[in-house]
Amino acid sequence: MKKFLFILTLTLVLAGLFTATTVFAQGGVTDDEVNAIAKQLYCPVCENTPLDVCPTEACRQWRELIRLQLSEGMTEAQIKQYFVDNYGARVLAEPPRTGLHWLIYILPPIFILGGAFILFNSFRAWTKPQSVEAGTGGESGAASSSPERDEYVARFEEELKKRK
Amino acid sequence: MTETTTPKRGVPLWAQITIWVFLAGLLVLVGVTLGKRQQGTVQPGDAIPDFTLPLFSGYEYEGKSEVKLSDFRGRVVVLNFWASWCKPCEQEAAELEEAWLFYEPSGEVMFLGADYVDTEPEARSYLKKFSITYPNGPDMGTKISQMFRIRGVPETYFIDQNGALYYVKVGPFTSVNEIKTLVEQKLP
């Protein structure tokens, strides 16, 4: 029992020491705190790779800079603004809602609504003749399939035959 | 017997025109953007628009914290894009400094370093490591590199006395003589 307690205590002490060393060696800023901001940024050198998972040296330097800025007390918004000022708005994972960037937010809903409208109209047009055959109404559709129309066509063809 | 047909209700003409104009505008925008991406770097013979390069503290030029390309009209300008994380840049750092020290007394040639997508502490370490003394500064907002449409670092642009580009070096220089040969193409 004593041996078990000794091993347990030792493990806890070592784990505590390791955690404390890791955190304090980085100025009290954890990797999670750095990555929470880093995942919102993209380095222009490594397109399409978020900063938090980018393995290049340039991205490692950026993450270290974020860590340094966090340890200096800068807020998330201030850090993101610093990166925008230094490297341009293209580093942001979520483009700012200004200028032409608005198109990114406006176009998809417009296209979706436009597509839905076209689909709705198409489906309505396809279903109309069926409802006419079922006798539910629709004057223009009825004109092409009603008995009167058939009779007229028959008479018309008869007249044509006579004229030959 | 007469037959009357009811006209179909469609999308109004103004709406159709608006939609087509909008789609055409969008296509033009996409085309222009893609075209720019495919253009490659600026080409020899192109006049380089003026730009401002802020300088790192300690790397100012004649006491100025920023310089403009137009400040050096009448001189050959060697504009080098580099970064501290760029290993090939290290291969040419000493050569560029040596060439600068060679031409500095004459006043006929200006060397400028534009630090691309870098962090200032690392950039300063790099400049110190290679004892670089010519004016250097960050490419803020990557505006200058976008203007030159660089594809990576290192890249070096040789601009003549009239502000026109006359040579682009992609990749690191292999010797000081290579730099001197290119500079002297435009020296009397």
pLDDT digits (tens, 9 = 90+) for A119-161: 998 888 888 765 555 544 444 444 555 777 788 888 888 988 8
End residue of a domain, out of A43, A74, A94? A94
CA-derived radius of gyration, chain A: 36
User: Contacts of residue A152 in chain B, CB cutoff 8 Å?
Assistant: 1
Pair (A115, A87) in one structural domain: no
Pair (A122, A83) in one structural domain: no
Pair (A89, A111) in one structural domain: no
Pair (A122, A84) in one structural domain: no
| Global confidence as pTM | 0.71
| Residue-level pLDDT at B9 | 63
User: Contacts of residue A139 in chain B, CB cutoff 8 Å?
Assistant: 6
Distance (Å, whole) CA B85 – CA A58: 5
Residue B180 identity: K
Domains in chain A, number = 2
CA-derived radius of gyration, chain B: 25
Query: For B117, which of A45, A85, A143 is closest by C-beta distance?
Result: A45
Distance (Å, whole) CA A70 – CA B156: 35
- Our CA angle for A60, A51, B80, nearest 5°, is 60
CATH number of the CATH domain containing A10: 1.10.8.640
Model pLDDT for residues B100-148, shown as the tens digit of each residue: 999 999 999 999 999 999 999 999 999 999 999 999 999 999 999 999 9
Q: Which domain holds residue A51?
A: 2-94
CA-wise closest residue to A94 among A109, A75, A80: A80
Question: Is it the case that residue B81 has pLDDT exceeding 80?
Answer: yes
Pair (A139, A156) in one structural domain: yes
Model pLDDT for residues B143-155, shown as the tens digit of each residue: 999 999 999 999 9
Pair (A78, A107) in one structural domain: no
Strands (DSSP E) found in chain B: 52-54, 66-68, 76-82, 109-115, 136-138, 155-159, 165-170
Query: For B142, which of A57, A88, A100 is closest by C-beta distance?
Result: A88
